[in-house]
């Protein structure tokens, strides 16, 4: 009996101890959980998660009804309506895309943008094949454009009939991709342009279908001709582009926010990316989005990222994003740049001008050396197939990352981003101004005490000389133990001289950027 009592007492004490430990854990969890308010100072408490800092490379795609005409630009949906009477017409002449559309498909009261939707069938779309390609390309996060400026939602929405589940493909594009992307241990992202819809179509123009109220769910609210031109953001004003038009009304603001909430509730995106012009949406609605997104993530134990351009969110409340651009210097904050694989367009067009794999890899290396990450846009056809030249470039990038990824993934910046002759022109849509890199352009990344020197071309002669590491430099805090060429020979001969670190070149391996791993003496 005595033994039984002792056993019972022991069980009670262990049970109490377990409850106390559980209570301590629960309290710690509660203590660590942040509740965000719709206030910029509160939203600035949100920290950029490590997964984003480590990932460095993602893929998304502009794909929708605008992929059907495949003519010149994803802005086809807008320019097709700019006739000679439109305030955006130059010198009283219709836009070239308008003339092309009328000649090819007929007048805009008979064949408007809505009529491309039944032609957007995506009959060959295979989300598993896409996700396999993204994974093989080395992407760590991926997803589709959820909704472009055209107003057509690429998910199964309860808020509109103008979506990919009810029309066109009649499939939940976002849902199918989210499932396959996450199966491959990648983060799922949603990108959103809906703010552009306010004024995208000339809903005032009675000569087009855009003015018909039965299509308002696609074309947006009815505007007066005097207020018809797409609203200009503060960024536009600062750059002297036309006048500032009225911001969106309450109904549009609410719909903008409610669609985002639906995306979050249905698909749990790890990253929500925004195009610019969000400042035509009320500041209260923008704050409400971040509050909702961050708080929902806290409830789910999910680490998330949101991005913004220009003035759309307060600095520090989300990750700053560039478009077809990069930084000229290293930054002390993480940033993102979105760029397209095609120099000319963001969607599939009949006459693309694809960037070379070498250019894409050099761009990625340069961005990562400056504390950035790359979101690369690709261009599927309307039927859901991905053009072979796009596949080739992605697979080549993936092969390079398979060999050299340790110098990209999970790295952090060095004291300086690099050295070389190539100058980067900063600014919105500035990438065309930047020349290709040469062997003199070397970029640095680090992982712990290991330093990676990435030459953006193969040097001429028998040596690579890194001038930043000349004798007596203040950058190398530790003595070099050895230097290896990733994918090639190890223990390369080297010497630090008055003009720099001289590395004897082994036999060349690979075709793109070349990574020299500098191992320190511990």
- The pLDDT assigned to 393 comes to 98
- The pLDDT assigned to 19 comes to 45
- The pLDDT assigned to 237 comes to 61
Confidence band of 266 (pLDDT split at 50, 70, 90): very high
Cβ atoms 303, 268 nearer than 8 A = no
Report the candidate in 310, 259, 283 with the shortest Cα–Cα distance to residue 39: 283
- The pLDDT assigned to 14 comes to 41
Report the candidate in 344, 377, 340 with the shortest Cα–Cα distance to residue 73: 344
CATH T-level topology, domain 418-422+436-520: Immunoglobulin-like (2.60.40)
Interval 239-251 mean pLDDT: 69
Average per-residue pLDDT for the chain: 92
Stretch among 124-138, 237-251, 319-333 having the lowest mean pLDDT: 237-251
- The pLDDT assigned to 229 comes to 53
Stretch among 43-47, 240-244, 359-363 having the lowest mean pLDDT: 240-244
- Cα distance between residue 463 and residue 452, in whole Å: 17
- The pLDDT assigned to 311 comes to 87
- The pLDDT assigned to 227 comes to 57
Q: What's the CA angle centered on 460, arms 456 and 465, to 5 degrees?
A: 70
Higher pLDDT, 477 or 13: 477
- The pLDDT assigned to 411 comes to 98
Angle subtended by helix axes 250-267 and 173-183, to nearest 10: 40
Two structure tokens written together for 21: 């430990």
Q: What is the DSSP letter of 214?
A: G
Burial (CB count <10 Å: 0-12, 13-18, 19+), residue 471: exposed
Given a cut of 50, is residue 483 above it in pLDDT?
A: yes
For 289, phi and psi rounded to 5 degrees? Answer: -60, -55
Interval 378-388 mean pLDDT: 98
- The pLDDT assigned to 7 comes to 45
Per-residue pLDDT of 301-310, as tens digits, reads 999 999 999 9
Domain ranges in the chain are 43-407, 418-422+436-520
Interval 340-352 mean pLDDT: 98
Given a cut of 80, is residue 104 above it in pLDDT?
A: yes
CATH T-level topology, domain 43-407: TIM Barrel (3.20.20)
Given a cut of 50, is residue 12 above it in pLDDT?
A: no
Per-residue pLDDT of 270-287, as tens digits, reads 999 999 989 889 999 999
Given a cut of 50, is residue 228 above it in pLDDT?
A: no
Express as a percent the part of the chain with pLDDT over 90: 86
Helix (H/G/I), strand (E/B), else coil: 418: strand
Confidence band of 1 (pLDDT split at 50, 70, 90): very low
Two structure tokens written together for 225: 């001709």
- The pLDDT assigned to 2 comes to 42
- The pLDDT assigned to 348 comes to 98
- The pLDDT assigned to 26 comes to 45
Express as a percent the part of the chain with pLDDT over 70: 90
Per-residue pLDDT of 203-223, as tens digits, reads 999 999 999 999 999 999 999
Per-residue pLDDT of 424-460, as tens digits, reads 999 999 999 999 999 999 999 999 999 999 999 999 9
- The pLDDT assigned to 458 comes to 97
Residues sharing a CB contact under 8 Å with residue 364, sequence separation 6 or more, in sequence order: 56, 57, 374, 397, 408
- The pLDDT assigned to 21 comes to 44
Strand residues in 296-414 grouped as ranges (E): 305-308, 319-323, 335-340, 372-378
Confidence band of 225 (pLDDT split at 50, 70, 90): confident
User: CATH topology of 43-407 equal to that of 418-422+436-520?
Assistant: no
Cβ atoms 220, 200 nearer than 8 A = yes
**pTM attached to this predicted model:** 0.92
- Cα distance between residue 309 and residue 233, in whole Å: 11
Given a cut of 60, is residue 243 above it in pLDDT?
A: no
- Cα distance between residue 166 and residue 154, in whole Å: 10
Interval 468-487 mean pLDDT: 96
- Cα distance between residue 261 and residue 315, in whole Å: 22
Label the pairing between strands 305-308 and 319-323.
Answer: parallel
Label the pairing between strands 372-378 and 335-340.
Answer: parallel
Per-residue pLDDT of 134-187, as tens digits, reads 999 999 999 999 999 999 999 999 999 999 999 999 999 999 999 999 999 999
């Amino acid at each position: 009996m005595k033994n039984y009592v002792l056993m019972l007492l022991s069980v009670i004490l262990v049970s109490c101890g377990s409850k106390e430990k559980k209570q301590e854990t629960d309290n710690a969890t509660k203590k660590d959980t942040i509740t965000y308010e719709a206030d910029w100072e509160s939203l600035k408490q949100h920290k950029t998660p490590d997964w984003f800092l480590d990932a460095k490379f993602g893929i998304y795609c502009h794909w929708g009804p605008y992929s059907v005409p495949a003519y010149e630009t994803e802005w086809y949906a807008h320019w097709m309506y700019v006739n000679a009477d439109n305030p955006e017409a130059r010198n009283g002449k219709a836009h070239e895309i308008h003339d092309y559309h009328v000649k090819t498909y007929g007048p805009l009261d008979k064949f408007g943008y809505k009529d491309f939707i039944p032609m957007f069938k995506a009959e060959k779309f295979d989300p598993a094949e896409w996700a396999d390609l993204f994974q093989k390309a080395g992407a760590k996060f991926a997803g589709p454009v959820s909704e472009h400026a055209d107003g057509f939602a690429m998910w199964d929405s309860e808020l509109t009939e103008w979506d990919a589940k009810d029309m066109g493909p009649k499939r939940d594009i976002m849902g199918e991709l989210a499932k396959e992307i996450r199966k491959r241990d990648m983060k799922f992202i949603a990108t959103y342009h809906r703010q552009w819809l306010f004024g995208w179509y000339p809903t005032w123009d009675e000569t087009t279908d855009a003015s018909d109220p039965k299509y308002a769910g696609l074309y947006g609210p009815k505007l007066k001709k005097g207020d018809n031109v797409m609203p200009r953001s503060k960024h536009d004003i600062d750059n002297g582009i036309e006048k500032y038009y009225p911001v969106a009304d309450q109904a549009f603001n609410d719909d903008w926010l409610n669609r985002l909430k639906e995306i979050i509730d249905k698909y749990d995106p790890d990253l929500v990316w925004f195009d610019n012009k969000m400042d035509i949406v009320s500041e209260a609605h923008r704050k409400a989005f971040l509050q909702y997104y961050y708080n929902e993530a806290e409830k789910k134990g999910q680490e998330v990222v949101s991005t913004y351009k220009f003035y759309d969110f307060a600095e520090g409340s989300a990750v700053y994003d560039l478009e077809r651009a990069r930084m000229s210097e290293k930054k002390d904050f993480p940033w993102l740049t979105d760029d397209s694989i095609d120099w000319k367009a963001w969607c599939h067009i009949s006459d693309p001008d694809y960037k070379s794999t070498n250019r894409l890899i050099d761009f990625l290396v340069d961005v990562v050396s400056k504390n950035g990450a790359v979101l690369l846009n690709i261009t599927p056809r309307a039927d859901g197939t991905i053009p072979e030249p796009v596949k080739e470039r992605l697979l080549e990038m993936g092969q390079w990352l398979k060999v050299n990824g340790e110098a990209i993934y999970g790295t952090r910046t060095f004291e300086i981003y690099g050295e070389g002759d190539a100058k980067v022109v900063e600014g919105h849509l500035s990438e065309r101004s930047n020349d290709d890199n040469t062997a003199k352009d070397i970029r640095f990344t680090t992982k712990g005490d290991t330093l990676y020197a990435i030459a953006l071309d193969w040097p001429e002669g028998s040596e690579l000389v890194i001038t930043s590491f000349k004798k007596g430099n203040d950058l190398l805090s530790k003595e070099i133990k050895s230097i290896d060429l990733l994918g090639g020979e190890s223990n390369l001969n080297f010497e630090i001289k008055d003009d720099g670190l001289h590395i004897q070149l082994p036999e060349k391996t690979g075709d793109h950027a070349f990574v020299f791993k500098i191992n320190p003496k511990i």
